[in-house]
Structure 1
């Protein structure tokens, strides 16, 4: 009997110690803690944007690194003009993004869970608010997260500068100024073939038409056709895409690099390109396969 009592006593002591240890471990994780930070998603582009006339909105995801929130969280942000028109003159954004209570990104991949974010805040700029506005140059501004209405939730972390809190937004003017008929000036600009062009070698003349791609919600794409009575320069139906960074990209079905076949002769590898709103001019430069550096300039008639 005495041995049995000793055994039971030992069991009670071990059980008691185990309970204390579990209680201590529980204190290390408090899922109801409402502290942390907000930031833009790491690895996402530093710049976002659109062309005026796009049938989409500009949406910026906000990562909410907080275990939980018991009430709505207000995230504050600023819109600082960099160049062009002031966004505050057109957008109804008031500098506050309200996140519903309990909605956070804490279970997402930044915690090495392997899962997608269960929630991301969504900061939206409605491009429809620019309807009727004539932009004459790109509207460029920085969106910066500055804080929240909770003293326990900051914008970014001072000790972790890699957590982004600034995002640049670029809204380019409408591309309607590039609808129409364009002359084609083309020539080799270096090598033994300069300054002649394909028109000189083949005795041809070129002129093209640009029209918007029907149904393009990005408002950035045009279809190219060769004008009646002129020789083929671009393959009919080639799609020209204007880049927010000022570049041009072509898709005629022959390459996946944005480089067009010109003059039914060779692929023009575009190394630099640009478009000029003021004069409605498009320029592209780069090697024409093995024949030398080449350039074409399209000018609205």
Structure 2
């Protein structure tokens, strides 16, 4: 099969590699589409040469390993890119990312969706309904991130919500805040194109900088930009007994004045990945029309355009999801 593999210098090259083969409890998936994620941009330099990245993908089941009764070739699926043991307490609770034996698909644990074929466990594959465009299988994962962020921040009907960063995580969080009945959703992003996208996803107000936010004006603050050094501003913006959820990925250290958060009795949480139940909820929302995934899709590229797509992703003003269709 053809795959985009990590080469020296953090670039990608198209190579012919052996077709993967499904083992017990595994499915062989022909990739329909795979999204480019900001975390891929940050992680690719650390990936060993030869790694097949890509963790936001879905496709058609074309091969069945042993012990996959009930599965049929031809089924369209979205893939939860964390292959866990299925037996520990974390797996039983649905928090599969915390399984001690988890393998991260497309991030070094096993081959991802920047290829024609991928092997995943049956437990990590979620059938799509006929009403869902197969290409939108790659959008289930980013909307699951937004749902997990909204749930971690306990966004409820009537809340005033501040979303900092209107990239993919911010836009999907806005969509879920709207679906959950938030009264006011304020999006902050320096890029005009992203502010416009935020409005189309349900933001009622848009701002350029965090400094423009209303002091003690929000029940929930969701950090979706991966920028360190903003916690003090979030504590200022959130109401007493409000919630701050950090969902952006950053490796930079940060600090804040804890006394201010103490006096407000602010709750500060973190959100990463998602649960199988959240994947099912996203698929149900796509099917019912509660969430329309189509506006998130900005561009489709071929496998040979992976390097150019990452260059586009690195642009600060980039808005929407780029998908590769192997």
User: Which structure has greater strand proportion?
Assistant: 1
> Could you tell me the TM-score, scaled by structure 2's length?
0.23
User: Which structure has greater helix proportion?
Assistant: 2
Larger Rg: 1
> Could you tell me the TM-score, scaled by structure 1's length?
0.24
Higher RCO structure (Cα 8 Å, ≥6 apart)? 2
